[in-house]
Amino acid sequence: MEPLSWTGSIAFLNPVLAIALAGLILSILAWILINIATTEGPVIVNPDGTLKSAAGPRGLAQTALRFTFLASVLLALAYIVLGVFLGSNAGIVGAISQQFLPVWVSLIIVFAMSVAFKRRLGLYGKLFDSPVGMIGFGLVMFWVFTGIFGALDLIVTHDPLVQVSGMKNKVPGTPLPNLDESQYAWYLLGGDNLARDVFSRMVKGAWIVVQIAPLATLFAFMVGITLGLPAGYYGGRLDTLLSFLANLILAFPVILLFYLLVTPEIIATGVPNYMAAVLFVFPIIFVGVLLNSRYYTRPNFRTPLLIGVLGVAIWLYLSLISTGGYVINTKDYAIWGLPTFMDLFDVPGGILVVFVSVVFVNSPTVFRIVRGLAMDIKTRDYVAAAQTRGEGPWYIMLWEILPNARGPLIVDFCLRIGYTTILLGTLGFFGLGLPPESPDWGSTINEGRKLLSIYLHPALPPALALLSLVLGLNLLADGLREESLKD
């Protein structure tokens, strides 16, 4: 079996891509220098009310930037499309493109449906009017689908924990020795220092991020919203007490809190399990108060709805905090949880600790944001009108104030997922929280950096994956901010 080159039979596109990228870089530099050296001229309005495009050097730089960027994107798509059809004949790029076929199909379906119905989808639909937002959304969904299909073993080529003899630190495209019929023929992105497949570990690492980052951020928002709304709306002693507790947590450096929460000595005491039992109650409180305030005047409908929803929510809560039938199970004592036959799932100890740590660290910041928005919005006329109608405080907070704060909160949610992703990478890099053999991106980068001066391929793919996901979340937040300001 011959080693794979990077582009194989589609190498004829390489010079064209090099020219396009060089033109893109030069266009960016020219655009920056021209904007620094020149002042913006007067805005010219066409007879139909639209703005006339800029002329002169600034306009030429913008046009060059637009065309070189478009050319680079089209060439990248050409690599992917040809790679899907040609597979390994198109080298490493083609083989990887073919492995990602379920992701490409899912992205096409999502974008096609979203563009077709964007006028009916509110703020999400308006996102597709923003090129920046669409690029960010595409990057984020790429890694979301990669994580999902990777967990289903539809993308990975090898077991990310299996070591293959003779593949230690092998370069990308190296074929496996003594190949079995059931094995994939190559290590597409090479082998690490323990002879494991870098490509499969990168894909499996995406699933860890998809599992933890969005859900942990969502839980942190529910905690912050549940406490921040009454603090901002009522003020007084309640606000003083909650703000003091939030500031007390924020006074510690974030990374130091993570270090403390994920150390083995703290885990052995059961502190993370206690924290999970407390923090995970807040989503139940949030959902219960939300539904009760909305349907308070319809008790015949409200009561069975609350019984059903809260019953399922409590069952999920007990399943989440129980492991092997116990909420706490230390050497000294144990606290019973949900019986094993009713326990829907067991969260691995390392993931639970990291999850709880992320929720605990992010909740005070969300609390302060929600509190500030509530203090501002409660002075608006529509809040006074709701008070005049005799609406209850929680109805006003959840159905008048919260919907009108959704723009900043959605933007912060996207940004906070990015911060959480970086924190997960940092924890993995220092070997904290998750098991040492975990394929998370931080651990993989840490293992690859040990031989970084000799071998780039073990550390570079997970680093680029982390970079692209965080970049996508930031671009998505910018697009949402841009569209929310137009409301």
Residue 181 falls within a domain, yes or no? no
- Check whether residue 65 and residue 126 sit in a common domain: no
- Give Cα separations from 117 to 110, 114, 120, 122, 139 (angstroms): 11, 5, 6, 10, 21
Write the burial class of residue 487 (CB in 10 Å: 0-12 exposed, 13-18 middle, 19+ buried): exposed
- Check whether residue 276 and residue 400 sit in a common domain: yes
- Check whether residue 449 and residue 424 sit in a common domain: yes
Residue 92 falls within a domain, yes or no? yes
Residue 104 falls within a domain, yes or no? no
Residue 378 falls within a domain, yes or no? yes
- Check whether residue 13 and residue 116 sit in a common domain: no
Q: Which of 127, 218, 140 is nearest to 470 (CA)?
A: 140
- Check whether residue 68 and residue 29 sit in a common domain: yes
Distance CA(415)–CA(403), nearest Å, equals 19
- Check whether residue 75 and residue 119 sit in a common domain: no
Q: Are 205 and 462 in contact (CB under 8 A)?
A: yes
Residue 177 falls within a domain, yes or no? no
What are residue 336's DSSP bridge partners?
326
pLDDT (tens, 9 = 90+) of the chain, 487 residues, equals 788 899 989 999 999 999 999 999 999 898 888 878 776 555 555 555 554 555 567 778 888 888 998 999 999 999 999 999 999 999 999 999 999 999 999 999 999 999 888 888 877 888 888 888 899 999 999 999 999 999 998 999 999 988 888 888 889 999 888 777 778 889 999 898 888 999 999 999 999 888 888 988 999 999 999 999 999 999 889 999 999 999 998 888 777 777 777 777 777 777 877 888 888 899 999 999 999 998 888 889 999 999 999 999 988 888 877 776 666 666 666 676 667 667 666 666 677 788 888 888 889 999 999 999 999 999 999 899 988 988 889 999 999 999 888 888 988 998 899 888 888 888 777 777 677 778 888 888 888 887 777 888 888 999 999 999 999 999 998 888 887 766 5
Distance CA(377)–CA(396), nearest Å, equals 11
- Check whether residue 150 and residue 57 sit in a common domain: no
- Check whether residue 348 and residue 301 sit in a common domain: yes
- Check whether residue 145 and residue 30 sit in a common domain: no
Q: Residue 63's domain spans which residues? A: 1-39+52-99
- Check whether residue 87 and residue 131 sit in a common domain: no
- Check whether residue 141 and residue 284 sit in a common domain: yes
Tokens of 32: 């920056």
Residue 363 falls within a domain, yes or no? yes
Q: Which of 292, 275, 280 is nearest to 223 (CA)?
A: 280
Residue 169 falls within a domain, yes or no? no
For the entire predicted model, the pTM comes to 0.87
Total tally of structural domains belonging to the chain: 2
Residue 80 falls within a domain, yes or no? yes
- Check whether residue 355 and residue 221 sit in a common domain: yes
